């Protein structure tokens, strides 16, 4: 069931939000905020795992992070297109759940679905705020959109210290056993194999962002709108 939330985390595939922003999601929840998750697709094009296995893994990861709900929109994997039907499906979620912040992938990435997920969020959040957009639910637009990183990272605009929640993030990622686990049943992919596996990349990236901002693990974000700061000493750590 979709209930009202503070933060909506959107991913193209069932493991995206864990990889990109699992630490911040856990941190928000620890601070008492409600977080909902939308997976645009069921990830049916992935090399390993059936759709049903991936659905169960996503639910397990949602439990680990403590999100209020997790919903799969059921768009076709590798066809997250900017068509009206897809925009409307996301508008419906935004209007029902009424978040203040949407987390979604950074708009440059090796996976075209991640790129399109960022564009779809921008379109849907805009339309969701139009009173005359044809829909039965009342208008609502999230005030903020923050982009998290998946397979392409650039210099973040800000980094959130997620050190305290890193074990939870790791566990939520590894809940997707068919993707990140190493077993004889799984085909070797860049996600699950070797020193350059996805988990190694994610941990190194988050450790780097942590190191350059004075914490152990950090998640980086980009936003297109300036961040308003009431108290400038906040950035001085005062």
Residues making up the chain, counted from first to last: 238
Task: Tell me the closest approach of the beta carbon of residue 117 to Zn ion, in angstroms.
Answer: 8
Stretch 14-43 residues interacting with Zn ion (CB under 5 A)? 16
Q: In Å, what is the CA distance from 90 to each residue of 50, 95, 117, 126, 142?
A: 24, 9, 10, 11, 12
The token pair that represents 22 in the structure block: 């699992």
Q: Is 176 in the site for Zn ion (CB under 5 A)?
A: no
Q: State which residue, 12 or 145, has the beta carbon closest to Zn ion.
A: 12
Task: Tell me the closest approach of the beta carbon of residue 190 to Zn ion, in angstroms.
Answer: 12
Q: State which residue, 13 or 54, has the beta carbon closest to Zn ion.
A: 13
Task: Tell me the closest approach of the beta carbon of residue 43 to Zn ion, in angstroms.
Answer: 7
Q: Which one among 8, 13, 87, 217 touches Zn ion, defined by CB under 5 A? A: 13
Task: Tell me the closest approach of the beta carbon of residue 137 to Zn ion, in angstroms.
Answer: 28
Q: State which residue, 16 or 206, has the beta carbon closest to Zn ion.
A: 16
Task: Tell me the closest approach of the beta carbon of residue 15 to Zn ion, in angstroms.
Answer: 7
Q: Is 6 in the site for Zn ion (CB under 5 A)?
A: no
Other CB atoms within 10 A of residue 110 CB: 10
> Considering only 11-19, 125-133, 185-193, 222-230, which stretch makes contact with Zn ion by CB under 5 A?
11-19
Q: In Å, what is the CA distance from 59 to each residue of 14, 22, 63, 173, 190?
A: 9, 14, 6, 12, 23
Shortest-Cβ-distance residue relative to Zn ion: 13
How far, in Å, CA of 135 to CA of 75, rounded?
20
Cβ contacts of 84 within 8 Å, gap of 6 or more: none
Q: Is 147 in the site for Zn ion (CB under 5 A)?
A: no
Task: Tell me the closest approach of the beta carbon of residue 49 to Zn ion, in angstroms.
Answer: 13
Other CB atoms within 10 A of residue 172 CB: 28
Q: State which residue, 12 or 160, has the beta carbon closest to Zn ion.
A: 12
β-pairing verdict for 35-41 and 7-11: parallel
Per the CB < 8 A criterion, the answer to whether 104 and 81 are in contact is: no
What residues line the site for Zn ion (CB under 5 A)? 12-13, 16
């Amino acid at each position: 069931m979709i209930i009202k939330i503070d933060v909506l985390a959107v991913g193209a595939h069932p493991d995206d939000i864990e990889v990109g922003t699992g630490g911040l999601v856990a941190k928000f929840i620890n601070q008492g905020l409600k977080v909902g998750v939308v997976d645009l697709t069921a990830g049916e094009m992935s090399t390993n795992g059936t759709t049903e296995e991936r659905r169960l893994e996503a639910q397990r990861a949602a439990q680990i992070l403590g999100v209020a709900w997790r919903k799969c929109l059921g768009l076709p994997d590798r066809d997250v297109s900017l068509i009206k039907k897809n925009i409307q499906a996301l508008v419906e979620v935004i209007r029902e759940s009424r978040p203040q912040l949407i987390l979604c992938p950074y708009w440059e990435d090796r996976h075209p679905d991640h790129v399109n997920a960022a564009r779809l969020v921008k379109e849907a959040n805009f339309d969701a705020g139009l009173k005359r957009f044809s829909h039965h639910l009342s208008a609502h637009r999230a005030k903020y959109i923050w982009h998290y990183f998946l397979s392409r990272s650039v210099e973040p605009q800000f980094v959130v210290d997620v050190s305290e929640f890193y074990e939870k993030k790791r566990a939520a990622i590894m809940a997707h056993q068919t993707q990140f686990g190493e077993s004889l049943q799984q085909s070797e992919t860049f996600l699950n194999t070797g020193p350059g596996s996805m988990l190694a990349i994610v941990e190194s990236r988050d450790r780097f962002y942590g190191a350059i901002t004075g914490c152990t693990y950090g998640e980086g974000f980009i936003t297109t709108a300036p961040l308003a700061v009431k108290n400038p000493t906040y950035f001085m750590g005062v």
